[in-house]
A and B are shown apart, each in its own frame.
Chain A
Amino acid sequence: MRYLPLTADDRSAMLDVIGASSIDELFKDVPEAARLAVPIDLPPFAGELEVERRLSAMAAKNISAGSVPFFVGAGAYRHHVPATVDHLIQRSEFLTAYTPYQPEISQGTTQALFEFQTQVALITGMDVANASMYDGSTACSEAVMMAFRLTKRKKAVLSGTLHPHYRSVVETMEKYDADEENLTIFCPYSADGKEDLASQIDEDTACVVVQNPSFFGNARDLTALADAVHAKGALLIVVVPEVVSLGLMKSPGEMGADIVVGEGQSIGNALSFGGPYLGLFATRQKFVRQMPGRLSGETQDANGKRGYVLTLSTREQHIRREKATSNICTNSGLCCLAFTVHMALLGEAGFTRLAKLNHQSAVKTAEALEGISGVEILTDAFFNEFTIRLPKPATEVIEALAAKGVIGGLPVSRLVPGDASLGDLLVVASTETNTDADRAAFAAALREVLQ
């Protein structure tokens, strides 16, 4: 077995040193009733070729996004990742390194994290960022919990146009958290994404959580909302599902956000059917000691050389145990590094141009679709995603499009099944990977399906 270096002779020599006659003796503390008498019912070991065949067969049953005209977003976006990224993150010293708890031999990781934190703070327009969380949805729920701690208030107001999965995660976390009085309020909204959040805020509001661009794609100026939130002593949490939007749009920091969370997958990371992704988390300097997650900080070594270490870890579970700020142990390490490398390659010029290309791609896609009879675009201002109303149920349309080899978008009813009024809505994303040919194919197929 290629992964197991011990030979029969090795095992025998080791048993001799231990003074045991067989491996069974080493398992003597296992109660008799629990010892497996027969091997577990699983296939025997397999060589690489066989494993490749097995898994490739499964992979072949999936339609990859790159093989067809593809327009799905809704929290995960298909972008081009330069070849350098995947090559660098697979270097042994990055891929197979442990968490940097021994900083003297982990400077590669800790310095890269410091660079990541800086990039995230810059693009979000905030003071400080952590070294990533599991994903955007858990970062969002952590932000809500941080707001409860900071304000000592009990209510979190969630925008109706927050990604339904994110809403569900926040509600689940709040339902089972330690404080029974904490509650979340979900703000009513209309299909064009408009809602009146300011009216939901009162003196007991800890935070208002709003996604920008929204789940429906609306790009909004949140400055007025930030003022209304602050006037009541609450905190504004802005959720950024598509980090590329920060290359073109005014930053949440500029708009007055207190905490910015987001999904970093768009930069450096493949779609990968939903994971692994990475959560972005940034806030103001005054809140830094309440920020969850790992942090890399600058310091000096005994010889006066600059170096980087994990810091402010007393907030974390392995030290504070019951009083931890969160139970999170892990950051998204390698996904975070992929983000850092991709962002390094892009730089200011590349990131801003990429964002512009995304917006233009969406504009062209919108133009290609709005000419189709029966199709109405509901989103006035958008970045790279918008909602269209169809004359038929969107799920039917999507299945029909798939049969024609086009993956046209996300039917809203898939994520919000309870609301019949949303049944004809489709959320369409368009990135720099979509070509004019894709758009033409989409439009043609949609025309046919709607006839």
Chain B
Amino acid sequence: MTMKYTEDHEWVRAEGGEATIGISPYAAEQLGDVVYVELPDLGKSYKAGDEAATVESVKAASEVYSPVSGEITAVNDALEGNPALVNESADGEGWFFKIKLANEGELAKLMDEAAYKEFVAGLE
């Protein structure tokens, strides 16, 4: 299982041809209390970099881009009734959607955990 990150603060957890995607704890903290998440439709296909979801807090609304290409196989319905999960467990229960990887090679272009930590440190 590989955990990768993008410069837009999305994380990707890939396992057996399927990837789970969410936003990093850092991003969740920057947003503040999440009030609403708009998730993609099941079965819809995205290319890496396409806007797939939106996450809203009281003070900001942000696009969430799919880091990889593929078809949506699952969305986290729990976020509808409990958007706070994104703040409580951004890289766990606060996941956004799962995608069937169209091209595993895309993962290589993303940052690993150490590189992402360095990236975030550079922002502050």
Contacts and interface: CB of A to CB of B under 8 A. Distances in A.
Q: A and B touching (C-beta < 8 Å)?
A: yes
Interface of A: 289, 313-315, 319-320, 323
B11 to A, nearest CB: 23
A24 to B, nearest CB: 41
A289 B36 contact: yes
Contact of A323 (B35, B58, B61): B61
Contacts of A315: 61
Chain B, interface size category, equals 10 to 19
A319 B35 CA distance: 15
A98 to B, nearest CB: 19
Given A314-B57, A319-B60, A323-B63, 12 more contacts: A289-B36, A289-B38, A313-B58, A314-B35, A314-B56, A314-B58, A314-B59, A314-B60, A314-B61, A319-B59, A319-B61, A323-B61
Nearest to B59: A319
A323 B56 CA distance: 13
A91 B39 CA distance: 46
A289 B37 CA distance: 11
B93 to A, nearest CB: 23
Interface in B57-116: 57-61, 63
Contacts of B61: 314-315, 319-320, 323
Which label, helix, strand, loop or mixed, suits the secondary structure of the A interface?
A: helix
A289 B61 CA distance: 12
A318 to B, nearest CB: 10
17 contacts: A289-B36, A289-B38, A313-B58, A314-B35, A314-B56, A314-B57, A314-B58, A314-B59, A314-B60, A314-B61, A315-B61, A319-B59, A319-B60, A319-B61, A320-B61, A323-B61, A323-B63
Q: Which 9 A-B pairs have the closest CB atoms?
A: A314-B61, A314-B56, A320-B61, A319-B60, A314-B60, A319-B61, A319-B59, A289-B36, A314-B57
B87 to A, nearest CB: 16
A286 to B, nearest CB: 13
A319 B56 CA distance: 11
Contacts of A313: 58
B85 to A, nearest CB: 19
Nearest to A313: B58
Interface of B: 35-36, 38, 56-61, 63
Nearest to B38: A289
A440 to B, nearest CB: 60
Contacts of A323: 61, 63
Contacts of A289: 36, 38
Contacts of B35: 314
Nearest to A319: B60
User: Which of A313, A314, A315, A320 has the most chain B CB atoms closer than 10 A to its own CB?
Assistant: A314
A314 B59 CA distance: 6
A323 B60 CA distance: 11
B24 to A, nearest CB: 20
Contacts of B57: 314
A304 B36 CA distance: 23
A150 to B, nearest CB: 13
Nearest to B61: A314
Contacts of A320: 61
Contacts of B59: 314, 319
B122 to A, nearest CB: 24
Contacts of B63: 323
A75 B54 CA distance: 39
A297 B38 CA distance: 20
A169 to B, nearest CB: 28
Contacts of B56: 314
Contacts of A319: 59-61
A258 B49 CA distance: 34
Contacts of B60: 314, 319
A159 B61 CA distance: 36
B55 to A, nearest CB: 10
A315 B38 CA distance: 13
B39 to A, nearest CB: 13
User: Which of B35, B58, B59 has the most chain A CB atoms closer than 10 A to its own CB?
Assistant: B58
A314 B61 CA distance: 6
A360 B56 CA distance: 50
A423 B76 CA distance: 61
